[in-house]
Structure 1
Amino acid sequence: MLFDADGVLQVIPGGWYAAMEPYLGSRAREFLHQTWKDELPTLAGQGDYLPMLASTLLEYGVTAPVEVVHRDVWHRIERIEESFTIVEALRRNGYGVHLGTNQEQHRGSYMRTALGYDDVFDTSCYSYDLRIAKPDPAFFTEAARRMGAAPSTILFVDDSVRNVQGALVAGLQAVVWDIEQGHDALVELLAGHGVDARLTA
């Protein structure tokens, strides 16, 4: 099993725009869409995102230190415990459970350490570390190599249709799911692929 993070295992409470509003109010949406474009290369391990973010903050008149803004917005992560209950059930039922997520280095490092994800998953495949970002099929080929599994034996769960399509091109099995669909629906999706995610005693 290979899981995406945002929208599947974790969320930004209230959403990204709400998280940025204390700094930029009604311009939060505009700002985020601009800075996310800057972030794209860093998702594939090219460059450091924080100086880019600092520059855009200054452009928008935000004087707070970039480290503070990054902490308040990019680290504003809530783990979805129902998702992690399914992860635990899969492990108890004998499946390997792995993480495959697009992240720049600083947010990825926070997830690995402060949120403890390296202790939860058998293999952690962060795009900045693989130096390839989803939906590139090469991301999934490299993830399978690191997992030590044939692509056809891996079932991938992501909330993005494009990422799922990339996984299918690479030969993985893959399903689209996000937390808004409910966890019962995820258990049913996995069962449709022969994967038992029920938590047994």
Structure 2
Amino acid sequence: MTEAPIAHVVFDADGVLQHLPGGWHAAVAPLLGDRTEEILQAAWAAEAPMLTGGDGDFRAVLAGVLLEHGAAASAEEVYVAAWGSVQTDHETADVVRRVRAAGYGAHLGTNQASHRSALMRTELGYDDLFDVSCYSYELGVAKPDPRFFLLAAGRIGAEPHEILFIDDSVRNIVAARSVGMAALHWSFDPDAGAEHTGQAGLVDRLAAHGVHL
């Protein structure tokens, strides 16, 4: 149990609220063949500065990565297959709605560049799903930097001890706790290495932190 009442719940995106069906490798392997992992690693490295607000057109950056590695697939094909094909886990989204209906603040806290955030805000409807959304590219810092959590609390308008953060990364859990937040290591994905309990189990875990739906 937490020492102070929780008034807000912050949900991570990837692994908690959304996923790429089949995973990144399976999504692009038909396009990239036996160099898939090498190209993905290079693309993620090129995207990393954009997670904290770095400038650049990621599709153009991705095109450069593909050219450098001799891939025949176009940047648009690869982008749509991976970065543009994320799907919402509807059970978690239902828990988000229940959190809001019960009178708690329900917020998003995620490491994302602006190109993917645009999809999440509009096509996936996260601007309507959450009270406040905290994207790393807007905050200028990414998890697990403790500043991310402090800036998120400020954007929400709450003290850290009033917030419960749900994430599938141990590093992010440790960082959230380091600034005084309660934190829950959870994922809807049974292979993610976090606790996997399904919707009912998540509701029970929330109740253990004083968030009753």
TM-score range, shorter chain: over 0.9
Shift of 1:13: 0.3
Q: What is residue 53 of structure 1 aligned with on the other side?
A: 62
* Equivalent residue, structure 2, for 1:35: 43
Match of 2:121 among 112, 116, 124: 112
Task: Specify which of 150, 164, 173 is matched with residue 159 of structure 2.
Answer: 150
Cα distance between partner residues in 1 of 2:61 and 2:160: 35
Gaps of 5+ in 2: 1-8, 191-195
Moved more, 54-63 or 148-157: 54-63
Report if the CA contact (8 A) 2:51-2:113 is conserved. yes
Per the TM alignment, residue 50 of structure 1 is displaced from its structure 2 partner at its CA by: 2.8
Please report the RMSD computed on the Cα atoms of aligned residues, expressed in angstroms.
1.3
User: When you count helix as a share of all residues, which structure comes out higher?
Assistant: 1
For residues 61-95 of structure 1, the C-alpha deviation after alignment (integer angstroms, 9 at most, x for no partner) is: 23444233212210111111110111111111111
Match of 2:209 among 186, 193, 197: 193
Structure 2 matches for 1:98-177, cutoff 5 A? 98-177=107-186
Identity of aligned residues (%): 50
CA distance in structure 1 between the partners assigned to 2:154 and 2:55 by the alignment: 25
Q: Secondary structure at 1:87's aligned position in 2? A: helix
- Distance in 2, matches of 1:159 and 1:12, equals 15
State how far apart, in whole Å, the 2-side matches of 1:31 and 1:63 are.
Answer: 12
TM-score, L = length of structure 2: 0.88
Matches of 1:166 and 1:26 in 2, distance apart? 36
Instruction: Say if 2:32 and 2:73, in contact at 8 Å, map to a contact too.
Output: no
TM-score, normalised by the number of residues in structure 1: 0.93
1:8 pairs with one of 4, 10, 16: 16
- State how far apart, in whole Å, the 1-side matches of 2:131 and 2:68 are: 41
> Which ranges of structure 1 fall in alignment gaps of 5 or more residues?
none
Looking at structure 2, the residues matched to 63 and 128 of structure 1 have their Cα atoms a distance apart, in angstroms, of 30
Shift, 1:147, TM fit: 0.4
How many residues end up aligned between the 2 structures?
A: 197
Deviation at 1:196, TM superposition (A): 1.4
**Shift of residue 27, structure 1, vs aligned partner:** 1.9
Where 2:30 maps in the other structure, the secondary structure is: helix
Cα distance in 2, alignment partners of residues 114 and 65 from structure 1: 23
Separation in 1, partners of 2:61, 2:23 = 22
Q: Stretches of 4+ moved more than 3 A in 1?
A: none
Equivalent residue number for residue 193 of structure 2: none
Distance 1:67 1:108 in 2: 17
Q: Distance in 2 between matches of 1:2 and 1:166?
A: 14
- C-alpha distance after superposition, 1:22-80 (max 9, x if no partner): 21122212211222122211111112233321111111223444233212210111111
